């Protein structure tokens, strides 16, 4: 009987040992319309217009975070297709959107709204963005010269570009 | 039966309904109730369910007796008005315990006017320090209603001065104002005390509008107003009223075909058979009423959609009898919840039975009566 009790207690402990904490990971969206698509311009216009729909400080924060995510995914896809100039443009837009988040968070807090969940969300987004940027950076060269047919060559310092992008996401 | 005795009886039953409703105050609310009432509703559930059904049945019997007295011209419009005023006054002091929708209205108004956030994007749960989250049933939903409703809620919300009890009172008073509005339009179009009483004394209308403060009355006011304005040939304002109605709860979009035909006939100078217009309005509103389970379910207060137009029809028509059946059965959908305190188990089946059996029985009786 004692042996049975012992086994039972052992099993309970084992169950606790094998329990792992499951947490929903921050998920970036699918890439929407990409440059070159007929709908790309419409998508960009819609992004600008949505700003008026997302009124209110919390909604505004959601709007900027969504755009930052969207443009980061756009940049990642463009980097994968080695469309570097377009990719850098998308990444710059993503950076701009992410930069306004801390200010908005402060504004929301000043309005007396509890920001604990939002702060956590932004922190998770920052973590995910940094991880994504690291992933992209391993796939691209440190520097690159883009030579369009009829225009001046464009020098792209990816080390600097990624450094700045990461700096903007460190909270 | 003596009208005064009947009126006193009806008012007493309404007072009991009002007292009973205070047993449904959520324990997490910053509102105090009589502990005995709370214990009666929570601990003596079979008795609470029986009491609820008995009160609803008594109110309905009283209502039918009133309709009969009015039909026999033994009760005049002034009596109806006095009785409706007394009923409104009693129910304004009741607690909206049979449905928590008014709290959702308040929460949405708070998101919009206090927190200045877009209620179509921001849910109450997005503001974790919002005190209403402790008892709100739809804290994880964005606004369900149209922009006109949200704009209108600014009035009762602001007049509530951020005090929950006062805000509830203001929302109920707001619904009461539109209840008066609908009644005055019913009177203008019908000039019939029977029609006014059919709508105004209906226990379902009284409880769902003045007790629970549902916004359906506001939507129906603007819908009816749009037809009134067509009759007065004020086209532009008529369209505005219909649009306002649609942008409150969307259901009245089903009125569009009837509205367009009526509009065209008035423009062409053709005579309008209003009786037929109301019948078609009632039928299309019944269509959306029956389609509501696609979205959620047939809630008791949805009956206000067809009932508003049914009231304007001929007394004791098949449409009125069917509507009376629904008006009797629909409030009973809440009874299994009072008994079981959950919406699962046998509750959904019971809800279906009480919704459809009474109108079927009423129609059967009506058919048998006609055969005689």
Give residue-wise pLDDT tens across range A74-125: 999 999 999 999 999 999 999 999 999 999 999 999 999 999 999 999 999 9
Distance CA A83, CA B329 (A): 66
> Measured between beta carbons, which residues in chain B are less than 8 angstroms from residue A62?
121
A18 pLDDT more than 90? no
Q: State the residue range of the domain holding B8.
A: 3-371
A12 pLDDT more than 70? no
Please give the average per-residue pLDDT across A65-70, as a whole number.
97
Indicate yes or no: CB of B128 within 8 angstroms of CB of A117. yes
DSSP letters, A96-129, are HHHHTHHHHHHHHHHTT---HHHHHHHHHHHHHH
The confidence band for A4, taking pLDDT boundaries of 50, 70 and 90, is: low
User: What is the distance in angstroms between the Cα of A56 and the nearest Cα belonging to chain B?
Assistant: 4
Indicate yes or no: CB of A56 within 8 angstroms of CB of B126. no
Among A56, A111, A116, beta carbon nearest to B122: A56
Q: What is the pLDDT of residue A11?
A: 56
Indicate yes or no: CB of A58 within 8 angstroms of CB of B129. no
Block mean pLDDT (10 aa), chain B, length 372: 89 97 93 91 94 97 96 94 96 95 97 97 95 93 96 98 96 98 97 97 97 98 97 95 98 98 93 95 97 92 98 95 97 94 87 95 93 81
- Which residue in chain B has the smallest CA separation from A53? B118
Distance CA B307, CA B216 (A): 11
- Which residue in chain B has the smallest CA separation from A58? B117
- Which residue in chain B has the smallest CA separation from A108? B115
Indicate yes or no: CB of B118 within 8 angstroms of CB of A57. no
- Which residue in chain B has the smallest CA separation from A54? B118
> Measured between beta carbons, which residues in chain B are less than 8 angstroms from residue A116?
128
Give the count of domains, chain B: 1
User: What is the distance in angstroms between the Cα of A104 and the nearest Cα belonging to chain B?
Assistant: 13
The confidence band for A8, taking pLDDT boundaries of 50, 70 and 90, is: low
DSSP letters, B103-145, are HHHHHHHIIIIIS---TTT--GGGSTT-GGGGT-S-TT----S
What are the two backbone dihedrals, phi and then psi, of residue A132, each rounded to the nearest 5 degrees?
A: -65, -45
- Which residue in chain A has the smallest CA separation from B111? A56
- The DSSP 8-state label assigned to residue B345 in this structure reads T
> Measured between beta carbons, which residues in chain A are less than 8 angstroms from residue B127?
58, 113-114
Count Cβ atoms within 10 A of the Cβ of residue A3 and give its class: 0-12 exposed, 13-18 middle, 19 or more buried. Answer: exposed
Q: Provide CB contacts within 8 A for B329, sequence distance 6+.
A: B354, B355, B356, B357, B358, B359
Indicate yes or no: CB of B121 within 8 angstroms of CB of A116. no
Indicate yes or no: CB of A59 within 8 angstroms of CB of B115. no
* Whether complex ipTM tops 0.85: no
> Measured between beta carbons, which residues in chain B are less than 8 angstroms from residue A55?
116-118
User: What is the distance in angstroms between the Cα of B146 and the nearest Cα belonging to chain A?
Assistant: 15
Q: What is the pLDDT of residue A6?
A: 60
> Measured between beta carbons, which residues in chain A are less than 8 angstroms from residue B117?
55-59
How far the first Cα of chain A sits from its last, in Å, is 57
- Which residue in chain A has the smallest CA separation from B128? A114
Indicate yes or no: CB of B121 within 8 angstroms of CB of A62. yes
Distance CA B112, CA B153 (A): 9
Distance CA A112, CA B193 (A): 53
Indicate yes or no: CB of B121 within 8 angstroms of CB of A117. no
């Amino acid at each position: 009987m004692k042996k049975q009790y012992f086994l039972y207690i052992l099993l309970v402990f084992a169950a606790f040992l094998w329990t792992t904490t499951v947490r929903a990971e921050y998920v970036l969206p699918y890439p929407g319309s990409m440059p070159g698509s007929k709908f790309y311009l419409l998508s960009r216009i819609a992004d600008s217009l949505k700003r008026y729909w997302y009124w209110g400080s919390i909604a505004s924060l959601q709007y900027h975070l969504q755009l930052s995510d969207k443009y980061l995914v756009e940049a990642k896809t463009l980097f994968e297709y080695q469309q570097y100039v377009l990719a850098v443009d998308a990444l710059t837009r993503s950076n701009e959107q992410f930069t306004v988040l801390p200010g908005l968070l402060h504004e929301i807090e000043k309005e007396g709204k509890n920001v604990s969940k939002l702060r956590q969300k932004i922190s998770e987004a920052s973590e995910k963005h940094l991880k994504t940027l690291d992933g992209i950076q391993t796939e691209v060269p440190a520097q690159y010269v883009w030579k369009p047919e009829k225009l001046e060559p464009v020098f792209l310092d990816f080390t600097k570009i990624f450094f700045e992008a990461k700096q903007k996401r460190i909270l | 039966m003596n009208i005064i005795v009947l009126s006193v009886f009806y008012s007493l039953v309404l007072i009991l309904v009002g007292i009973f409703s205070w047993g449904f105050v959520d324990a997490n609310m910053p509102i105090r109730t009589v502990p005995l009432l709370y214990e009666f509703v929570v601990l003596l559930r079979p008795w609470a369910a029986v009491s609820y059904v008995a009160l609803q049945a008594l109110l309905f019997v009283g209502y039918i007796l009133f309709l009969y007295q009015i039909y026999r011209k033994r009760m005049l419009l002034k009596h109806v008005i006095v009785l409706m005023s007394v009923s409104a006054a009693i129910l304004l002091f009741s607690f909206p315990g049979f449905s928590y929708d008014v709290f959702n209205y308040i929460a949405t108004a708070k998101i919009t006017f206090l927190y200045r956030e877009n209620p179509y994007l921001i849910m109450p749960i997005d503001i974790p320090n919002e005190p209403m989250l402790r008892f709100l049933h739809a804290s994880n939903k964005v606004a369900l209603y149209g922009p006109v409703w949200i704009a209108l809620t600014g009035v009762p919300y602001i007049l509530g001065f951020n005090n929950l009890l006062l805000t509830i009172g203001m929302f109920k008073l707001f619904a009461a104002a539109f209840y008066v509005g609908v009644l005055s339009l019913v009177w203008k179009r019908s000039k019939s005390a029977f029609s006014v009483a059919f709508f105004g004394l209906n226990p379902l209308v009284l409880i769902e509008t003045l007790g629970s403060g549902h916004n359906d009355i506001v939507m129906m006011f603007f819908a009816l107003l749009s037809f009134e304005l067509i009759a007065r040939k004020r086209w532009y304002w008529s369209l505005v009223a219909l649009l306002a109605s649609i942008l409150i709860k969307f259901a009245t979009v089903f009125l569009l075909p009837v509205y367009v035909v009526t509009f065209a006939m008035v423009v062409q100078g053709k005579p309008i058979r209003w009786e037929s217009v109301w019948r078609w309005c009632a039928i299309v509103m019944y269509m959306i009423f029956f389609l509501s389970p696609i979205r959620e379910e047939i809630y008791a207060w949805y009956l206000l959609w067809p009932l508003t137009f049914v009231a304007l029809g001929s007394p004791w028509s098949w449409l009125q009898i069917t509507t009376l059946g629904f008006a009797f059965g629909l409030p009973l959908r809440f009874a299994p919840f009072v008994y079981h305190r959950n919406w699962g188990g046998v509750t959904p089946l019971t809800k279906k039975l009480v919704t459809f059996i009474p109108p079927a029985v009423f129609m059967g009786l009506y058919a048998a009566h006609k055969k005689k």
